[in-house]
Structure 1
C-alpha cells in the first residue's frame, strides 16, 4: 500500500506554531494548489489543503514560511474525526508533511532553493555559486530527483 502526496502551492496564511503538552512542536498552515484546468468562465480554480508538520520541521516552517510564500510539501494523507461541541462527528482530511521545501527566495542573500527540510534533513549540495544543484526545474527550485517522472 502507498500513501504519498507531493504538492506545490502558496501559503494562504502564516503558519501557526503550537506545542503539545509534552512539548512537541506542531505547525499548521494551508496550501493553495492550482487545479490543472479552468472553470467555464475561464478562471483558474485552486484547492486549499491543510498541512501539518511536527518537531524540528514545524519550527523551521514557522520561522521561514509566511503568507504568500511558495512551498513544496511531501507527506501522507491523514483522515481523522472528532465529535464537536454540538455532538456532531466532524471529519478532517489533512496532509502530514515529512518534507517541506521553501521555494520563495529569502531576502538577505540566502537562496531558498537550498532550503529543504524533512525527517532526513536532506539538503541540496551547494555548487559553489550559492545555488543548489538544480537542473530541470531551476526556476522553481526543483531538482531532477524531485520530479515524479
Structure 2
C-alpha cells in the first residue's frame, strides 16, 4: 500500500482512542497534552509531531507494528523494525520457541503469527496434521482453517 493510500493519522488515533474507551480528556491527560490539540490532530486541523504521535501511541498502548502505521499516516518514517523469525538476529528467540515446543511434547503445540497462521510446531503436532488433505494446508496452515474446515482436525 502506498503512503498516499494510508488513512490519515487523526482517524487512526480516534479509532485507537475509542477502542481503549478513552475520552479526549482522558487521552490528553495520559499523553500530557491539551484536549484542544488532540481534537485538532484527530480532525486533521493540526499535524502532530513525530514525538506527539509516539507519545499518543504510548498512552494508547498501541502495538509497535501499529505505531509504525500511525507514523506512516502522519508522513513520518517507521520507528520499529519488523524481523522475520528466520532472520539471524532472531536466532535466540527461535531457539527459545523450539525449546518450549519440545518441552510441551508429547502434546501438540504450535507457534502462530498474528493472523493465526502456523509458523512452526512440535513433533506431536506434525503427527496430528498428517491426515489433513493438502488443500487445507495451502497457502499456509491456519489454526481456524485447520480446526473449522470439514476435512481439517
TM-score between the two structures when normalised by the length of structure 1: 0.24
**Higher helix share goes to which structure?**
2
Greater RCO, 1 or 2 (C-alpha within 8 Å, sep 6+): 1
Larger radius of gyration: 2
**Higher strand share goes to which structure?**
1
TM-score between the two structures when normalised by the length of structure 2: 0.23
